[in-house]
A = this chain, B = another copy of it.
């Protein structure tokens, strides 16, 4: 189990998360014969600055000026996000119009997210078990699902603890 899966809720060495994600990305792109260019790497690194979702225009604002000394246009960040999503490095959270790094990229997988409404921490769950438990329900409907998409708002363990008695 990867570092960020285990203790993301706790205080932790987040550089570890970032560098782990970047390393995994480099490796994955090498394997697939695609380029993790400067822009793409920059966007991925920005996305990984926290375990909270980030908006596209937030990312855009944090990107450095290009060599012409100008701010990049929206297309820039959307293209990078498209690439990263295509290769499973980043997910989009539809309920928030925002993006977050995938802690176990590579395999095509479901998107099951626990979103803390207090601290905005996002925890991605492996969809396999959810999919298993849901399978009977779905087949009972005669429905053939492509991929699960779940964004569950609530309160994370950390914030429950902090908020006790409040």
A123 adjacent to chain B (CB < 8 Å): yes
Distance of A148 Cα from B129 Cα, bound (Å): 16
Mark each residue of chain A from 133 to 166: 1 if its CB lies under 8 Å from any CB of chain B, else 0: 1100110011111111111111111001000000
Main DSSP-derived SS at the A contact region: mixed
Number of copies: 2
**A34 contacts B by Cβ under 8 Å:** no
Query: Is there a chain B Cβ closer than 8 Å to A119's Cβ?
Result: no
- By a CB distance below 8 angstroms, the chain B residues around A157 are 141-143
Tell me, rounded to whole Å, the shortest Cβ–Cβ distance linking A25 to chain B: 25
Residues of A within 8 A of B (CB): 9, 94-95, 114, 116-117, 123, 125, 129-130, 133-134, 137-138, 141-157, 160
